[in-house]
Amino acid sequence: MTVNDIAKVLEELAPLAHAEEFDNVGLLVGNPNMKVKGVLVTLDTLENVVEEAIEKKCNLIVSFHPIIFKGLKRLTGSNYVERVVIKAIAHNIAIYSMHTALDNSKMGVNAKICEVLGLKNPEILIPRTKSIKKLTTYAPSADADNIKLALFTAGAGEIGKYSNCSYSLEGTGSFKAGNGANPAVGKIGEVHFEKETQINVIYSFEKEKSILKALFDAHPYEEVAYEVLTLENSNQDLGMGMIGTLDVEMDEKEFLLFVKNRMNASVVRHSKLLGNKVNKVAVLGGSGAFAIGAAKKSGADIFVTADIKYHEFYQAENQLVIADIGHFETEQFTKDLLVDYLTKKIPNFAVSLSENITNPIKYL
């Protein structure tokens, strides 16, 4: 398999189009057409991780965090980022990053946290808006079913656990073909009336190119009439954070100790305990202060995240408990998620879990 082949497998889990605009995801170092001998999965790509890849004969590193985040103006080895890139290039090792594309995945970072904590019925905490599009097109009624099938095959018409979703209306279309046209029906210079079906489907924005291609390939008309609208609807399958419930309620302190144990956290920093039972839990891997409001609005009893600043703890406002367990600690199991995923998708391929602990924060 090539680097590009494995990238396509990873994009089935976390399409790069789902990453946040500020992020730097995808292939950061290396040739997409290079044949891959082995894959090393890590949370961060540091020098010791590249050395581990060399030792294990892995020439592709799949990293959660991007080693290159801002533009590089020179490669002189003056800092750890430049040294990693130089070493990777020198040993012909490719580096691929997923970061917020995986954060936004319904089966990504936050789903793994829910799994580790045993949360049931997890849902997206902050569903993304303006990521669902609606396609309306018009076609001869005799061709409508074939066109719908082509659109469904390309990924249109998926809503939650349902697929092949569409809505159709019957009507009459009219047109007059001019000189040089090649109409599928009707004659040049004559107004033609055709029994047509209006087809309506929705789709996730990153699939637009393939869906429009499917439409044009399947449609019999020389000129295809269609409209594309961006919807305000929340996307229940895409977004930041998750919220789920416990099988059995716990006291707040009991739950915080449970989280500390299950997430291998050295320290749990938290806002004031409220004396409530914990049933509904919101989680967000990495820096999650921006989601405090959403966690409160969701009715969560506790919000488990990281990188909460002093004044941000005040935002709990006696409505929930904010628990900061550490950035690395919230994301550490992402490596296991990716190894399990790749092993299932390409079972006959060498996929290794990095043995390096890349947490830069130490505790006394």
Are 97 and 44 in contact by the 8 Å Cβ rule? The answer is no
Phi, psi of 352 (to 5 degrees): -115, 145
SS3 326: coil
The Cα 117–Cα 157 span in angstroms is 33
Q: Which of 15, 45, 27 lies closest to 107, judged by CA?
A: 15
103 is in an annotated binding site: yes
Would you state the structure tokens that stand for residue 265, as one six-digit string? 């956290």
SS3 percent helix, strand, coil of the chain, rounded to 5, is: 30, 30, 35
Helix axis angle for 3-13 and 334-345, nearest 10°, is 110
170 is in an annotated binding site: no
Are 104 and 11 in contact by the 8 Å Cβ rule? The answer is no
The Cα 258–Cα 276 span in angstroms is 16
Give the Cβ contact number of residue 188 at 10 Å: 12
Are 40 and 80 in contact by the 8 Å Cβ rule? The answer is no
219 is in an annotated binding site: no
Q: Which of 328, 331, 325 lies closest to 269, judged by CA?
A: 325
Are 19 and 101 in contact by the 8 Å Cβ rule? The answer is yes
Give the list of residues 6+ apart from residue 313 with CB closer than 8 angstroms, or none. Answer: 269, 271, 322
247 is in an annotated binding site: no
The type of residue at 287 is S
> Which residues define the annotated binding site for a divalent metal cation?
65, 103, 327, 331
Residue positions in the annotated binding site? 65, 103, 327, 331
